[in-house]
Structure 1
Amino acid sequence: MRSLFSVTLLLLLALTLTVEANKRAKHHKGGKHDKSRASSECSPAEIQYGKCVPDHGDCGDGLREASCKDRTEKINCRIPCNWKKDISDCKYKFGAWSSCDAATNTKSRSGTLKKALFNAECQATVKVSKPCSHKIKKTRGESFWKGKKKSNSR
């Protein structure tokens, strides 16, 4: 009786694992390997990528064409909805933000090219700017209660 129970338990476990593996295979979206999916017989250097075209507006999720030889496919892409919009296919290493320029109320920083994605044409260095924040930043260790008197009302 014990051996029948053990065999039944093993079969149930094997069936559960098989069902889970099939579920994962059906819902697998490709992840990082989607980039090179354009054509299995093409090397990554041969694949030509088009610009990312957002589905709605000028930023957000979209599609880009990936072509190799006589085959073209559309792959998912994303354009950031902030100052990185113009350099989204280029990866840069940025320095620290400059101090606020009172005349223009902006601060800026520059970056050097680390990597060009999807064979993009990227500038070697870029300079970006953004409006200065008017919030007063708290120094480390400072809290909301600092300087306020505690009342010992019991």
Structure 2
Amino acid sequence: MQWWAPLIVVYLSTCLEAIQHHRKALYPNAYRIKRGTYSLINPTFQRSMEDVNLLFEILLAGMQIQDGDHTMFIPDEELASMSSVKKLEVICEDVLPRKLTEIRRLTAELAQRGRPLSQEDFERTVLTLVYSAQTVARVGDQRQREAWTDSVTELFKAIQKDLRLSI
């Protein structure tokens, strides 16, 4: 065995741990779904172009992401009844950050990133932006509204930055 082999092993394991930690740091709830189904660990809605179009259609139909027991509501019953919407429901209910402090942590992490987001993290960031924008419309307190507006702005900047990095 070469003298440098243990150093390489330590270096590679450190890099692997840092990559895994950094990836989990953005949306940690994606790796611990409450429903206990293995297939729902790290769920992603968009796997094909049809899924992308479906998500766009759902958002245009007026999908609402709210706090409470049933957090996702799609006014179009036909869209809401589709089986593929189940994963979107899991993402909205179990993965997305809902508290302002969680969203601020997320935006701070996103601001420091120097590489493009994964497809899953990009999808979750867009959905978090949707949730935050809808929350701004519901909040009555002026200070809370300003705080949520700042979060919406930061999420938008993060998405814009990611799109520039991906080109």
TM (norm. structure 1) is 0.31
Higher helix share: 2
**Higher gyration radius (CA):** 1
Kindly indicate which of the two structures has a greater share of residues assigned to strand.
1
Q: Which has the higher contact order (CA 8 A, sep 6+)?
A: 2
